[in-house]
Each structure stands twice: as C-alpha cells, then as structure tokens.
Structure 1
Amino acid sequence: MDRGRQGWCRHFTRGEFHVRVSAVLVSLAVVAGVGQPVAAAQLPSPNTCAGNDTSCVHAWGMGGNGALGDGKAQSRLYPEPVPNLPGITGIGGGLSAEIVAVHADGTVFAWGSAGLVMPGGQQRNTPLQVPALSNIIEVEAGYKNALALKSDGTVWSWGDGSRGQIGDGQEYGEGGTNVPQQVVGLTGVVDIASGDSNGYALKSDGTVWAWGENKRSQLGNGVVCQDCYSNVPVQVAGLTGVRSVSEDGFALKVDGTVWTWGANASGMLGIGEPSSTFRAASPIQVSTLSDVVEINGCGQNRYTRKSDGTVWSWGPNNSGQIGNGTLYGFQRAPAQVSISDARGLGCGEAYNGYAITADGSLWSWGSNIYGQLGVATSDPRSTVPVKISGLSGVSKVSGHYFGALALVPAP
C-alpha cells in the first residue's frame, strides 16, 4: 500500500516535506470536510461480533472517508466491529482509505473512499461485494488500487491504471477500471503487495515480479528513468529465495535477510545512506538485520520482526512512528521499537506502527490525529507503543489513511 501520486512533487510530500507540514494537517482536513479531529472519550464496553462464524473486522480512526464501514462519518477513537461482515480471513487498507477484505468463501468486499476500487465507482461507507472475484485467498490495497490472489496462483487487479498498475498490458490513460482484471504472465504466485502505483508478486520459485510506476526505480529491474512504467510484470533483478514481499521495494528472504530497492527518501532503504536522492535500481541488503521473520512497509516507513519477537523500524519519524521514544528526524538504519514478544506486524499510511503480541493483544504507536492509535486519548501522537483496549486474540492488523483494521475471532 503506498502514496504520492500525480506527479513528482506529490511523492515527496510523503517524506521530508510532510515533516514540515504535518502540524497543519489537522486544520486542512477539517476545512476539507474529511472528518473531525478526535477528542478524549470514554472507552465503551468491549464489542463483540455475535453470530460470526470465523473472524470479524474491527475498525477505528477517521470516519469521513467511509473506512469505518459502519455507515457513519464520525471519527472514532476505539475499535468497533464492522457490521454485517462475518467470516473474514484477510484485510488490507490503502492510502486513500480503500479497504478490501476477503471472506472464508473466497469472495471479496470493499468499502472506503477510493471510487475505482469500489463496486459502482463510488465511495462506500458500508461493505459491498466486489463482483467477478472468487476463490480469493489474499487481498491488498494501494493508492486507488487493489490486488487479489486466487487459490490457483493468479493475480487480479483493479482501480487506477494511469501508470500501469493494473498489470494487464493495457493502457488506461488517466483512468482505470473497477472490474478486476487478471495480471498477465503470472502463475504460481504465493504472496502479493500493493504499493505506490505498483503491484508486487512473489512466485513459488522465490522470484519477485513488479509492475506499474518506475520513476523511483521501484520495479527493481535495474532500469533508471525519469518518467517510465511497465503495464506488465517484470522480474526484480537478482532476487531469489524470497519468503515474502511488501511495499514498495521490500522483500524478506528465507534466510532471514532483508532487501530493499527504489528511492531512499527519508532513509527508507534502511542502509544508513544519508542522501535522500540516492536510489537503488536493484535490490540491496539491509546488512544490519538478520533472523527476520516478517516485514511490513507503509509510505516511507519500514517495519521488521525478528524471530526473538523484537521489532525494528526505519524511515521518517515526524509523528514518533519509529516507536523508540524519539520524535522528528529520519531514522536511516533499523532502530529497535520499544516492544518485545511481537508475533505480528502492521503499519498505517499516516505514520503508524502496529504490533500483535504473543497474548493476542494489539499495540500501536505514531500519529493520532484521527484516532489511529485506537486508545481513548486526545494526545496527537505516541512515540512508544500503547496497548489498545477491548481487543483480544488479534490475528491480523492493517493500517490505512488515518485509521486501522484488526481481525479478531468471533466469540
């Protein structure tokens, strides 16, 4: 899932530029009418999803973009269930608050603000089934885009197609499609990720394939260009033995090493390189990390979990999203987050990190402009992880644009 569109300048607002303007985001959002900043409130009694046969989705944060899925526009400090959505096995949120969820029966539901991802092309504040999709086992959301992985190893894409993000070999100009299309030339796919106008797929042979935008070398195929993209998948150069992939240019190998490629804005490559104009056209190793078992990327921040339960992060720190008690500046090499015994990771497009601990509880850190932390406080941020009350047995977490989602078992 990623950020920055419509031109070169827009991309860099997700990094250094946002450090300078983040103080104005609240007032801008209110003027734009996208929601109201949160205020302190009493935490309600724990919510349940009675009648759900497997798992249910809890949502919190901004409400004006439809991301809460409850038909209301009010932002919310604490998690509550998305109504009438039982049996969910996977979730994904994107930069434009496009939300996708996969049901145990292989169908997909969508809600939120990105019209092209929604059935009918309009913002949805309640879930609606995406037509023409079945046998889906994984979903991901990007910027006005979504991806779905079928059980047969094929990948399907829909949303904005202006920079080749659909991956079907077609040119969409300034538009796209809200009807899922098969990404061409991909079979045997076992993992997917959606990024800044990009799609990524990991095949069963351990190779990674990418399509979409490449002006920051996020395709990882060794090509450097100022204004180019690919509307079909290309192989990420020299990368084999991969276990999982995340946005944008972020991969974990089976040997526990971590590899990144693309732009280094705000230190997002994690290699300690001080120049934000440096770019890696093909993967390079984050040499200070080993024994990593999980990765997650959002915007220009990167998060990793080691086998010992520690979490490590890097990138911009304008809202404390590094999670080690510091604020501002750029963390250009991995730093340890102030949490232990982590068993799952998530991150948000608006400067947030999330961790699931071994007891099934959920912890959050970073920005809280619209209640992304999921705790009953009006504090604008937390530079260290805080526990989200009222949730237990959390299995998955996904952040998005000023909000988050958690997957929990039904009672």
Structure 2
Amino acid sequence: MLLRKSKLLIASLLILSLCFPAGSEAAAAVPRAVSVSGGSAHGIAAWSDGTVTGWGDNKFGQVGDGTSINQYIPRQVEGLSGIVQVAAAGRVSFALSRDGEVWGWGLDYSSYIENDPLLRYQKRGGPVKLEGLREVSSITANGSLGIAVKKDRTATLWYPSYDQPGVLPVQIHYLELKAVTGIRSALINGNDALFLTEEGSVKQMSIVNTVYNRIRLESDPVSVATIASSSITGMAASQGELFLLRSDGQVLRWNRGLKAPSAVAGLNNVYKLDTGFYRLFALKRNGTLWQWNYNSGVLAKPYQIKKGNQISNIWGSSGTFGFAQHKDGTLLGWGDRFDTGLATGRGTVTKDQAGYILTPVRQPLMFFVNGEPFSFYGTPSIKDDKLYVPPTSVFKALGVQVSYGTFKADPKYGNDPFTGWSFVYGNNIVQVKVSDPLELYINGKKSDREFTMNRLPDSAQFPLEAICDLLGIGLQWNKSTGEVRLEN
C-alpha cells in the first residue's frame, strides 16, 4: 500500500512539474500589460496586477504622478487599484476598475496644489472619480469627453462643463445615449458617437447640436444611422475616418464622403485594429504588425513595421505612435514621439523605408536609499543603457551637496574659474564645467575621464553611476526588476 501511495505521489509531482515548469512562478509574478493607450504625447498602461503606470508629456498632470513634470520613465499612478482598462486622449487619462468605476486625470481633471514645500508650482492632484458612472464595462475617450459602455449594454456620454472658469477639476455632465442598445463597444469620432452592437452592426449618432454648437441635450432630437448592418467584429477611428474589421479579417474604410464602407487593399486576414493621428494600425492573424499612413502620399499603402512579428495585441493613441505586445509579454512602442518622452529604450527614433522599429517600453524604476524606499518628483532617464537623474533627486538623501554656479578651480593646477555644477560629499568634490564638450574636475584637478549628461528639453540629467563611483557611494541597479539601491 505504501509503495502504491509513493507511486501516486511521484506521478502527481510529475504532472505538476509539467503544468508548472521551472521558473514559471517567477514568470507568473511579472505583471503583463492588459490595456494601453496613448494621448498626444503620453502613454498609460494598466497591468495584470491592477496597477497603472504613466509616462511622457505631463504639463496638465496627465501622467498621473502628481506633478506637471514630464516623465521620461514610467511612474506608477497612486490611488488606483483593480484597474482593467485605460483610455488616454489628448492631454487626459482615464481608468476603469473591475468594479465598474471610472477615474480621470490630466487636463480639466487634475487640480492645482499650491504651496507644496518641494514643488511649489508644479504639484497636481491625482485621479478623480467620475461619480456619475457605475456598472461600466468599457470606456473610450476623445479629448476630455468620453463614452462609458455599461454592463447592461447601454451607453453614457460624459463631458466637462466650464461654467466655473479656473476651477479644477471641472464639473462633469452625463448624458445617457438611449437611442442605441445592445452595445458591444463605442468610439467618438468628431461630432459622432459610433457603436458596435452585439449583432455585428455599426450605428452612428451625433452627439453635438450643430445649431447651437454644443453637446446635445437629452431633449434634443436624435437620429441613428446604420453604417454596416452585420459581420463587423471591431472598429477604430481617427480624424473623421472610420475603419471596420469584418469577421473574415478584411479591413473596411468609411467616411462621410463614401456611401458605403470599402475594402482596404493589403489589409486582410486582420485580427485587431487601432489608430493614431492619421494612422491605422493593424495586427494580422499571423502575428505581424502593419501601419497605414492613409493621409500621406509618400506611404500611401499599408506596410509592415520592422521586427513586427509574433505580436499578440496592439493599442493606439491620439498621437503619431502606437503600442504592441509581444507574445512573450514585452510591451513595445513605435512612432514619431518616442524620442521626446515616451520612454522607450532609445534616445532617438529609428526608421527606414519600411517604417519604424519596435522598441521596448521601459519599466518603472524603484529607488532605495540605505535600504529605505525613496521617491522624488523629477524624472530619471536612460540613454545608451546608462541611468541619469536630475540634481533634485537622490543626492540630498545621500548627503551630497549639489549646487550650480561659478567655482574657483584649484590654483595649483593652473585652472581658471568656471561655471558649472558641483557635487560635494565628505572630502570629495566633483565639478562639471558646462562647456562643449563637458569638462570634469575631481577635487579641483581636471580629469580626462569621459563624462556625459543626457540633455533633455526640461531637465539637466546627470549619470548616477558615474557620480556615485567618483564620490565613493555604493550603487546597485537591477535592470530586470528596475530596483536602484544606493548605500553610504
């Protein structure tokens, strides 16, 4: 009997080992992107653990880090949990929780916070709950307004009111769009709301009263047109153009100048659609990623994105970029704005006749100073696989005095006074002369050691590893987890 039980135990362990191969626990612990969206120049991602990260242009707080500082590395959005979908548009971001609640931040939604001791003029409020939305299953946005598809397959439009100028967040109005039911998904395209129904038809409804140039009221007359009557499984829209995905994988194009949707040559066998600014993104069933700059005479035909293979999902933006997920879970991006704050691994865009090259989106960085978690308002950056930080970041916590001004060089080395940055730690002084090229001085003596800064349009960025090495501060950067540990 004991032998039989042992054999059963061994067999059970063998089955478990086949179901959960070595390393699967670690792999399962790494969150995957479940929803990604881009505004004009920022990105938002929801992850399988329910968290949200944001990065990029942040003038109105649309990244969600509580500042109006551009963030070149993704930052976690505090105050959100259980998020299953995000939607970004222009300079605004939205998130939907598994409980059916919706949150918004950025233009019109993030309040100004004055007299912050560390960030007097650039502190912004976090996500605000849209109290008029409940039991929501999906969201879509166009600028500061959006449509929520409810779990009962009806839709509600939300939009900001400017009755009290200068007051943030603005008051949000809600309008039930009762003329269409059985809704699977929705889009906003110009003055129209577009609905994909459970039957596979596409309905069009105006959400603007063009006579009074305002969002229509519930009492205004409404008409619904049918653009496609059946067999539609997906849709995407941008700048007045509507693209439909037919059940056989063919992409159709429609606008007000066309009587009926027409097939797009070269875009068949497609699995999913999304759009950017005058761009159509398509994921084919064979895992290849395609783009069509349909408003361009140069790239008038769909083309495959370089290295756009083995792709499992795609997402668009209201800018000139998109996102894709590799089948291994890696989140990728491509487009025109990735060199100005959309946190890919590259400092510059790479493109050729076949278009843009997919590049991994950076994961958030987590800083620890002497074993304690540490955060700062400014943005870090990564260039050529080197980590850079602004002067107001980890240095003060480490006891490093940072200043900018004119410094007297050590006369025994025959150096003239110069303008630049100074880092003082104990008996060590590191100075950087602002010149082209940069000049490095160690304890007053000019050094031939190479020293580079990452020049960003809104932040001076210093090489953290190099400065810590020069000052004798311990640093460990785990590039696989994003942990940066500093010890002194």
Per the TM superposition, whether the score is higher than 0.5 is yes
- 2:143 aligned partner, one-letter code: Y
Q: Deviations over 1:116-163 (max 9, x none)?
A: xx499x9974101001211101011103311111000001102269xx
For 1:63 and 1:379, locate their aligned partners in 2 and report how far apart those are by CA, in whole Å: 20
* Counterparts of residues 3-402 of structure 1 (less than 5 Å): 54-95=49-90, 97-113=91-107, 115=108, 118=109, 125-159=125-159, 178-212=172-206, 232=222, 234-248=224-238, 249-262=242-255, 279-315=257-293, 330-338=298-306, 339-368=308-337, 371-375=340-344, 377-379=346-348, 383-390=356-363
Q: Deviations over 1:183-237 (max 9, x none)?
A: 12111101112233332111111111122389xxxxxxxxxxxx9x997452333
- 2:303 aligned partner, one-letter code: A
Instruction: Give the % identical residues.
Output: 21
Does the 8 Å contact 2:51/2:82 carry over to 1?
Answer: yes
For 1:362 and 1:232, locate their aligned partners in 2 and report how far apart those are by CA, in whole Å: 41
Does the 8 Å contact 1:352/1:372 carry over to 2?
Answer: no
Bigger shift: residues 360-369 or 146-155: 360-369
Q: Which runs of 5+ in 2 are unaligned?
A: 1-40, 114-122, 162-169, 365-488
Instruction: Specify whether residues 53 and 77 from structure 1 end up closer, same or farther in structure 2 by C-alpha distance, changes over 3 A only.
Output: closer
Match of 1:395 in 2: none
Aligned-partner SS, 1:106? coil
Q: Deviations over 1:323-360 (max 9, x none)?
A: xxxxx864222111111011111122221121111011
For 2:320 and 2:227, locate their aligned partners in 1 and report how far apart those are by CA, in whole Å: 30
Does the 8 Å contact 2:279/2:291 carry over to 1?
Answer: yes
Aligned-partner SS, 1:200? strand
Instruction: Give 1 or 2 for the bigger CA radius of gyration.
Output: 2
TM-score by length of 1: 0.63
Instruction: Report how far residue 53 of structure 1 moved.
Output: 9.0
Instruction: Report how far residue 90 of structure 1 moved.
Output: 0.7
Match of 1:271 in 2: none
Instruction: Specify whether residues 126 and 184 from structure 1 end up closer, same or farther in structure 2 by C-alpha distance, changes over 3 A only.
Output: same
For 1:239 and 1:372, locate their aligned partners in 2 and report how far apart those are by CA, in whole Å: 42
Instruction: Specify whether residues 387 and 233 from structure 1 end up closer, same or farther in structure 2 by C-alpha distance, changes over 3 A only.
Output: farther
Does the 8 Å contact 2:179/2:224 carry over to 1?
Answer: no
Aligned-partner SS, 1:137? strand
- Work out the number of aligned pairs and report it: 289
Does the 8 Å contact 2:249/2:268 carry over to 1?
Answer: yes
Q: Which runs of 5+ in 1 are unaligned?
A: 1-36, 39-48, 162-175, 215-226, 264-278, 318-327, 392-411
Match of 1:43 in 2: none
Q: Deviations over 1:218-258 (max 9, x none)?
A: xxxxxxxxx9x997452333442111122141111111111
Instruction: Specify whether residues 213 and 337 from structure 1 end up closer, same or farther in structure 2 by C-alpha distance, changes over 3 A only.
Output: farther
TM-score by length of 2: 0.53
Task: Say which structure, 1 or 2, has more relative contact order (CA 8 Å, 6+ apart).
Answer: 1
Aligned-partner SS, 1:332? coil
Does the 8 Å contact 1:78/1:376 carry over to 2?
Answer: no
Does the 8 Å contact 1:368/1:381 carry over to 2?
Answer: no
Instruction: Specify whether residues 280 and 302 from structure 1 end up closer, same or farther in structure 2 by C-alpha distance, changes over 3 A only.
Output: same
For 2:92 and 2:260, locate their aligned partners in 1 and report how far apart those are by CA, in whole Å: 29
For 2:106 and 2:272, locate their aligned partners in 1 and report how far apart those are by CA, in whole Å: 27
For 1:53 and 1:213, locate their aligned partners in 2 and report how far apart those are by CA, in whole Å: 34
Does the 8 Å contact 1:367/1:373 carry over to 2?
Answer: no
RMSD: 3.5
For 1:84 and 1:213, locate their aligned partners in 2 and report how far apart those are by CA, in whole Å: 32
- 2:304 aligned partner, one-letter code: Q
Does the 8 Å contact 1:157/1:180 carry over to 2?
Answer: yes
For 2:203 and 2:335, locate their aligned partners in 1 and report how far apart those are by CA, in whole Å: 31
Aligned-partner SS, 1:211? strand
